[in-house]
Amino acid sequence: MAAERLAVLQARDNFAEILHRVATTKARFIVHRYGRELAAIVPVEDLERTDARPPAATGKRGSSRRAPTARKR
């Protein structure tokens, strides 16, 4: 399936509908501004196949918070 091109304003104004189409029909979108491609909105399955997901987004548990430290008085 070829990706549909959307201007940034179209993507912003129709974001909920775009996400619904991606989730239900596996549609793909390229978001552009003045003809320059900026981002892609793709199904999670496509992203997982590329191994481009950062470790924190894969569902593995881990904390990026620091452990609390004792305060100096």
Residue 51's domain comprises: 4-55
Q: Which of 16-25, 27-36, 55-64 has the weakest average pLDDT?
A: 55-64
Instruction: State the average pLDDT over residues 40-51.
Output: 89
Is the pTM higher than 0.75?
no
pLDDT of residue 9: 97
pLDDT of residue 49: 85
CATH number at residue 18: 3.40.1620.10
Tell me how many domains the chain contains. Answer: 1
Three-state secondary structure of 2-71: CCEEEEHHHHHHCHHHHHHHHHHHCCCEEEEECCEEEEEECCHHHHHHHCCCCHHHHCCCCCCCCCCCCC
Instruction: State the average pLDDT over residues 42-71.
Output: 68
Higher local confidence (pLDDT), 22 or 64: 22
Evaluate whether residue 69 is within a structural domain: no
